[in-house]
Structure 1
Amino acid sequence: MISVGQKVDLSIPVRAAVDGEKWEGLLSQLITRPTVVSVYMRNNTSSCDKQTQQMQVVAPELEKGGIGLIGLSKDTPGSHVKYGCKLELSFPLVSDPEHAFASATDSLVDKKMYGKVFVGPTRSAYLIDADGTVLGIVEKVDSANHGEQLKALVKEI
């Protein structure tokens, strides 16, 4: 996994849901200030719903502090638009079906589900500056307490 102080390549092409609309561009266009990128697995699943709802709880506080917030999963931009509207999310949801962000942060790991092994991203959160410098990391997201994890993360800078 990438470490604090290292840089993430933000020139990754992404598709996203921004303000309830499908959007396409580079990740760097969404990270224009210190921004938390919180990685979750799938829309409309119990733990991921808790994680994104916790993100929404702290989103206004982060915004007041000048910190951006992005949710990232492998779901499609269309799914993200519906999910964002359903949960009334105020932050962008990035689609990363090829795990480009996880590759850039060196956070792809072997996972097991129903006896099958596959490669996927860790459920982590990264505080990243506009130049790509990693300012902080939550290596293991606790879905039910993710809001508190994010508040602690941004206090570190």
Structure 2
Amino acid sequence: MSNFIIKQAPIFTAKTTQGLINIENYFYIKNIVLFFYPKDNTPGCTKENIDFKNLYNDFTNNNTEILGISRDTIKSHENFKCKYDLPYNLISDDDEKICKLYDVLKKKNIFGKSFYGIERSTFLIDMKANIIQEWRRVKVENHAQEVLNFIHNLNSK
């Protein structure tokens, strides 16, 4: 499910697999695909990351950087990135600050247990630092291609 919106992207500094980044460093230079996923090395999250990896050159050719984010530790992200040869940064949000900024923590129930977890979500941030598209409750299948298609459509206007 996607919604066309325009709102200012929340600003953050975060630990990544390539050191500390400030999201503002990308503003006015590139578009950003910021995708939140629940956990490294789980089937759906692995497939989603591999799908973005396989389309990475297409995204970069469209002046778009990909950033994956979950609550996993940097160590977990480094192992995950290395295992699947991911070409983009993974952000560790182990204190959930960024998840809260983007409102992706949702109540979940599994086997009768209730907890808060990441709702798989993707945000497209344009070069003017605006969220111009968001996808909530993402289904992994064809999602990366859907995001790329959206960017292609924007560029063709």
Scaled to the shorter chain, the TM-score interval is 0.7 to 0.9
The equivalent residue for 2:99 is 102
Structure with more strand by fraction:
2
The equivalent residue for 1:154 is 151
Q: Give 1:29-44 correspondences, 5 Å limit.
A: 29=25, 32-44=29-41
Q: Give 1:4-153 correspondences, 5 Å limit.
A: 4-10=5-11, 12-18=12-18, 23-29=19-25, 32-153=29-150
State the alpha-carbon separation in 2 of the partners of residues 110 and 3 from structure 1.
24
Report if the CA contact (8 A) 1:99-1:120 is conserved.
no
State the alpha-carbon separation in 2 of the partners of residues 156 and 80 from structure 1.
32
Identity of aligned residues (%): 22
Measured after TM superposition, the shift of residue 52 of structure 1 is 0.3
TM-score (norm 2): 0.86
Unmatched segments (≥5 aa) in structure 1: none
Closer, same or farther: CA 3–101 of 1 in aligned 2, 3 Å: farther
TM-score (norm 1): 0.86
State the alpha-carbon separation in 2 of the partners of residues 36 and 154 from structure 1.
10
State the alpha-carbon separation in 2 of the partners of residues 25 and 63 from structure 1.
18
Closer, same or farther: CA 139–156 of 1 in aligned 2, 3 Å: farther
Unmatched segments (≥5 aa) in structure 2: none
Count of residues in Structure 1 that have an aligned counterpart in Structure 2: 151
SS at match of 2:39: coil
Moved over 3 A (4+): 29-32
